[in-house]
Each structure stands twice: as structure tokens, then as C-alpha cells.
Amino acid sequence: MNDSIKKIILSSGFLTGIVLYFHRQNLKRKFNISFANNAFIGFSTICEGMNFFDSNSSISQSKIGYGSYLASGTQITKASIGRYTSIGPNVNCIFGRHPTHTFVSTHPAFFSTNRPNGFSYVSIQKFEEHPKPKDVTGKYSIIIGNDVWIGANVSIIDGVSIGDGAIIASNALVNKDVPPYTIVGGVPAKPIKKRFSDSEIEFLLQLKWWDKPEEWIIEHSDYFCDIELFRKIINND
């Protein structure tokens, strides 16, 4: 869909509703996507399949991996989400930053030429409001890895990467990168502990089970309940 047609459609609530309906039907048919009431998925969002979008959730300008889902009320924008990732209710992405040091004022009129409030006192940009995209395509400002669990009411600042296997505790504010298989919590979020030993984490990151064919995952699914047994079985395969 080219930009001019998209603008015409988005300018009309009636046309937007019709197009969104058929867009959802197409996603259901092709990718086995499930939607609850008032769930929204933007036209440019890429789904790998078997995704679920709960009531009043929204995802736009993003990519979501196989088996991942959004719980109710979650709002995701400009994010790349890995496979088998669980995102809890009322999670949101926060965009835009203000200077907190050196600058006399935090108001954008003193550092931004983008005029977010309609005016500016500067002729050149003096502070980076938005971090550069985190992916090679230049599309996504937030990276959420594979097999990540994000609890309820979490806020994620743009420019952040959350590593594979990480867990974000409810009500956390994630303003820094989260290492793989690390549990973080708090405002701002800080490491609480690692989920596994260093050798087990290295094993899982090398294995990348989420990239395996689904037949392989099904065959080994009974062993996912015990990391030591799982590792032993895989090493003996």
C-alpha cells in the first residue's frame, strides 16, 4: 500500500475500519493470528505467526516473532520482538528524551528544532531527543529478544535492547539494556539475578532453540521444564 492511498484511508474512519477488518482476516488466514476485542495491528507490522493480541492492545511499525503475544492494554511501537516472547498487560513504549544535566531548562524549545510544542529558540539541534534505531534496517527503536517475559505495567524507553531469555518484573521502568537471561526490576530497572549459571546461559545462547523447526521444539518440549536435563539431552543428541 503506497503512502498516498494510506493517507486517504486513514483520513476516513469508515474506510480505516473496513481496511483493518480485511487486514485482520488476512492475518488470521495466513499466519494464524488471534485477536481479542479492540486489538489493533498496524499495516506495517510484520507477524511471523501464531501471535495473539489481547483486548485493547496495539502494535504498530513493529515486528513480532513466532508465538509471541501481547496481553490486554499493551501498546507497542517501533519495536522488534523475538520469538516465544510473553508481554504482559499495560506495557508501553516511551519515546523522546530531555536533557537532565548541563542544560538550564528541560523544555524542548531550548534544544530541539523539531518544534514538538510548536516553537523553538534554537536554529540547530542541540540534544539527541531520539536514539538511533537499534536494528540494521533502521526501523526499530526498541529490541525485545526471544523468550522474554515482560510483566504488567512495564515502561520501556526507546533505544533499549532486552536480551534473549530476560525477565522484566512488573511496574519496572527499563531505561538501559538488559543482558540475556537476567531478571530486572524497579524504577529504574536494575539487575536482580541471573536465571541460570553462566555456562547454562552460554549453552542456551549458542543453541538458539527458538530458531529450531517447530518439529524439533515439539520433540524436545518435555525437557523444557529442567535446564539440567534439557542440556544433557541436547548434548547427547
Residue of 101, 107, 130, 220 marked active site: 101
Say how far apart CA 221 and CA 212 lie, in whole Å.
12
Contact in structure between 112 and 174 (CB atoms under 8 Å)? no
Contact in structure between 210 and 146 (CB atoms under 8 Å)? yes
For β-strands 79-81 and 58-60, DSSP reports them as unpaired
Q: Establish whether 23 is a catalytic residue.
A: no
DSSP annotation string for 45-64: -EE-SS-EE-TT-EEES-EE
Contact in structure between 33 and 49 (CB atoms under 8 Å)? yes
Give which of 174, 208, 167 is closest to 189, Cα–Cα.
174
Give which of 174, 221, 175, 224 is closest to 204, Cα–Cα.
224
**Which set of grid coordinates corresponds to residue 217?**
521444539
Mind telling me the catalytic residues? 101
